[in-house]
Structure 1
Amino acid sequence: MRRVLLLGGAGLALLAAGIGTGWVLHRPPAMNARAYAQNRLIAVQVHLDEAPAGYVFLAGDSQSELESPAQRPCGTELVNGGVSGSSAAVYADLVATLTFRRRARAAALTIGTNDLMAKNKPLGPDATARFDASAERILRTLMANTDRLVVTAVPPVGRELARWLEPAAVAHYSERLRALCGRLGCVFADPFAELRDGDTGFARPGALRDGLHLARYRPVMDALAPVLCPPRPASAP
């Protein structure tokens, strides 16, 4: 019961509001995320279909979905394709179902929070291999549909969730994403650097609202914007 109260107090309410982590119900997490995604992806596809040229696509889990689509990180429309509760494996399947009628000017991916569950031994070779394979599928899908892909580090987590999450996996999976970008040609960035309590995998006090989600999301987009949309070189005479 205590587990449900600690994670479910935030998770169940957020899931009911359409932004839950998908971790804490009795059903498997992947089932929760996929059930939520059935309706969520309708909205994402509608926005993609109507997005103007030069839009920015935001991909990933709830850390992406909670970013306000009213923001204009490159002075253009933001299409928020985040799906709360998604692990890398789940999002790899979901993003492959989307149709990008126009290429995005840039895309940003934040994934990994839902891959940190300690019971799944995220530091083990099997879990690491699955994460790598799923993340590569996501990256290849996005890189086929955008001119510039920025992949972020995994955000830090709250110390109150140390019993359920593996904090060392935050850096572990972040480095896996960095390596993938180095191999595939995307850009790696850490817009969460100011929120980290050193290299512990934990967040600084006050950085999170519930042990998982950020207290403030707009500063993260502000930090990402220069990487997403670097100044274009002046045209040669």
Structure 2
Amino acid sequence: MRQRLRLGLAALLLLAAGFGLGWVLHKPAINARLYAQNRLIAVQVHLDEAPPDYVFLAGDSQAELQPPAQRPCGLELVNGGVSGASAAVYADLVETLTFKDRPRAAMLSIGTNDLMLKNHPLDPKAAAQFEASVTRILRRLLAVTDHLVVTALPPVGRNLARYLEPGAVGAYSERLRTLCERLGCRFADPFADLRDGDSGFAKPGAMRDGLHLAAYRPALRALAPALCGAGPR
């Protein structure tokens, strides 16, 4: 068992080392699943050893890249983010996780990897598939926590206009808001200060590479009122 864990973690490090922007934009979803298989070993280990009271982060790289030393709501942070995961990929992944103890709160940030132009995100069929996948994620997380916060999609850099659909940023965020109203989670936008109006694009300097935030701690701090408050909404 220990040998398998060491091999899995080693593979995780190798995959993460090569997990650049080009990987996300050009490689097929099977690579995201390959990375996730190893990433989830570390996530499950942390879940198994977490204290009874903790905060769980779920989603794609917008969750995984949050610095682990932070203590939202004064609690330990268990990071279940998987870089490169689309909503459909993460819906499958989150169902494989076992929660020994219920997190006091959970955050979901998902959708960035669903914005790729090649997937035609504004097509009604693609948008409906996104909503169906997110619904699966929300139902799974609401089964293990009484307090779930879902974030809007962050904006994207203008340098990625060839690859991503900025118009889907607002459209998919509104779908997330509507789902939370229906299912009983809380919707929040910790990226509001980064947006260049309603364009879907980010203000200059807000993004590190057009896809990832220049700084992640401010986003988690902005979530504190929603994440640490009482009640589902």
Question: Which TM-score applies when normalising by structure 2?
Answer: 0.90
What residue identity is the alignment partner of 2:120? K
- Residues in 2 aligned to 1:20 and 1:225: alpha-carbon distance in whole angstroms: 29
CA drift at 1:119? 1.5
2:133 corresponds in structure 1 to 134
- Residues in 1 aligned to 2:153 and 2:54: alpha-carbon distance in whole angstroms: 24
1:223 corresponds in structure 2 to 222
1:37 corresponds in structure 2 to 36
Matched, 1:81 2:80: yes
2:6 corresponds in structure 1 to none
1:202 corresponds in structure 2 to 201
1:123 corresponds in structure 2 to 122
- Residues in 2 aligned to 1:19 and 1:78: alpha-carbon distance in whole angstroms: 23
What residue identity is the alignment partner of 1:195? L
- Residues in 2 aligned to 1:97 and 1:146: alpha-carbon distance in whole angstroms: 16
Unaligned 5+ residue runs, structure 1? Answer: 1-13, 233-237
Contact 1:20 1:62 in 2 (8 A): no
1:187 corresponds in structure 2 to 186
1:90 corresponds in structure 2 to 89
CA drift at 1:39? 1.0
**CA deviations over 1:150-199 (Å, ceiling 9, x no partner):** 00000000000001110000001000100000000000000000000000
RMSD (Å), alpha carbons: 1.6
With over 3 angstroms needed to count, the CA separation of the structure-2 counterparts of 1:47 and 1:136, relative to structure 1, is same
2:105 corresponds in structure 1 to 106
What residue identity is the alignment partner of 1:23? V
Paired residue secondary structure (2:154): coil
Number of matched residues? Answer: 217
CA drift at 1:141? 0.5
CA drift at 1:120? 1.1
With over 3 angstroms needed to count, the CA separation of the structure-2 counterparts of 1:214 and 1:157, relative to structure 1, is same
CA drift at 1:97? 0.4
Unaligned 5+ residue runs, structure 2? Answer: 1-13
Contact 1:117 1:165 in 2 (8 A): yes
**Runs (4+) of structure 1 moved beyond 6 Å?**
none
Contact 1:158 1:212 in 2 (8 A): yes
With over 3 angstroms needed to count, the CA separation of the structure-2 counterparts of 1:231 and 1:176, relative to structure 1, is closer
With over 3 angstroms needed to count, the CA separation of the structure-2 counterparts of 1:74 and 1:16, relative to structure 1, is closer
**CA deviations over 1:83-131 (Å, ceiling 9, x no partner):** 0000000000001100001000000000000000112110111101100
CA drift at 1:212? 0.4
Paired residue secondary structure (1:74): helix
Contact 2:206 2:213 in 1 (8 A): yes
- Residues in 2 aligned to 1:207 and 1:77: alpha-carbon distance in whole angstroms: 27
CA drift at 1:231? 6.3
1:48 corresponds in structure 2 to 47
- Residues in 1 aligned to 2:159 and 2:196: alpha-carbon distance in whole angstroms: 14
Contact 2:16 2:35 in 1 (8 A): no
1:57 corresponds in structure 2 to 56
Question: Which TM-score applies when normalising by structure 1?
Answer: 0.88
- Residues in 1 aligned to 2:146 and 2:134: alpha-carbon distance in whole angstroms: 18
What residue identity is the alignment partner of 1:128? A
2:11 corresponds in structure 1 to none
Paired residue secondary structure (2:34): helix
Contact 1:196 1:204 in 2 (8 A): yes
- Residues in 2 aligned to 1:47 and 1:128: alpha-carbon distance in whole angstroms: 33
